[in-house]
Structure 1
Amino acid sequence: MDQGLEAAFRYVERLLFGDETRPGLTLYDLERLVGYPFKGEGPLAYTLPRRKGLEGVQAVRLYYYPKDPRLQLIVEIVDQKGEKHLRHFRWNGLSWEEPKGSGGELKGTEKRLGLIQVGEDYFLGFPREEAIELAQEVRRGTAYGAKYLLCPRCHTRLFYAPATPTQGISCPRCGNATLLYKALAGTKEAQDPLEALKEEVASLRKALEELSAYLRRKLGP
């Protein structure tokens, strides 16, 4: 295993199981990240933001299968060569565990990442839920730095995921093979949902400690 891939797997393990600095991701936390249940019954996907520990891979995605009691979570890591590495996890009520004998049931993660049209734009390499979410951010003007291919002939925009090779792509509307590399202007970064979740947990923990201290003062030891 190359160093970038190994570091990414370690990052995912710290995310799921926690360490000395933060608790692990619970099933409830995962459902909030992927948008279950208001985005549907799944499978639902969430791509981890680029950060320290994930520099050596192209992308890390979490696929949540809420209706599968054996394979609830699939972690997909795309290495620098574009190859996909998968690990399966199941929530046992207290923590995540890797179910045994569950290999080879993950072809759905491959076939869901084709070309998707949302409105006037096209999206390549995104799960449908992420494509719709990105399209909404584009309309709101908050998709800062999102990369896309622009067709100079018909002005079609084709947004592509970080792990998607762009060589040989033609315009899906007019077939023009000469596309321009572009990125949406802006430098403001969207709030990282993982960091927001971490801050919320820390605030809740602090509030509980303050409440406990107050009750001890009022009620005595």
Structure 2
Amino acid sequence: MDPGLEAAFRYVERFLFGDANRPGLTVYDVERLVGYPAKGEGPLSYTLPRAQALSGVQAVRLHYYPKDPHLQLIVEIEDREGRKHLRHFRWNGFTWEVPEGKRGDLRSTEESLGFLKVGEDYFLGFPQEEAKALEEAVRKGEALGAKYLLCPRCGARVFYAPSVRPAEVVCPRCGNPTLLFKTFSGLEPVKDPLEALAEEQRALRRAIEELLAYLKRKLGP
């Protein structure tokens, strides 16, 4: 492992779990750091101040999910090359633990994840199982508050994880760099692909009928 990244992992481990000189970070400490609930319902983020132990990385961030009982905290370390290394945790009432199916070893690395296409949408920064779970929630209209980017050119939706910098994302379908920031409200109807195709065919048929009617008026019988 890169020495700077390794030093940052050790620092975060002491910061989160404590050592002989200081107690660990509780869920209430995290809430004060990110400004919950004054700054909203989340997810909320906090960037650790620069320290000697963090000189070998670009940044260390805490992403807090106050309303998610299964995943409350993501620790993100961004290395010198801009790669992000993530660890997932939840508070069990006494200390932080690794959620079932997640990895929480702060001494090893996990690089940030790229685009995944699930259903009709794209997911950026999510492991495959999380992307599938979010896609199902979106399809059922239950992913309230989920942040996504909408491409005004081709209509693609990109749901992104808190570790992603949305301003740097380009549309994975058409390459458009200008995407619109949106929040899923559960009100957007999710069109079935076959229904969408049938709707296009009906619109084309109406356009042809209108054109034929116009030509008959102009040219006569």
Larger Rg: 2
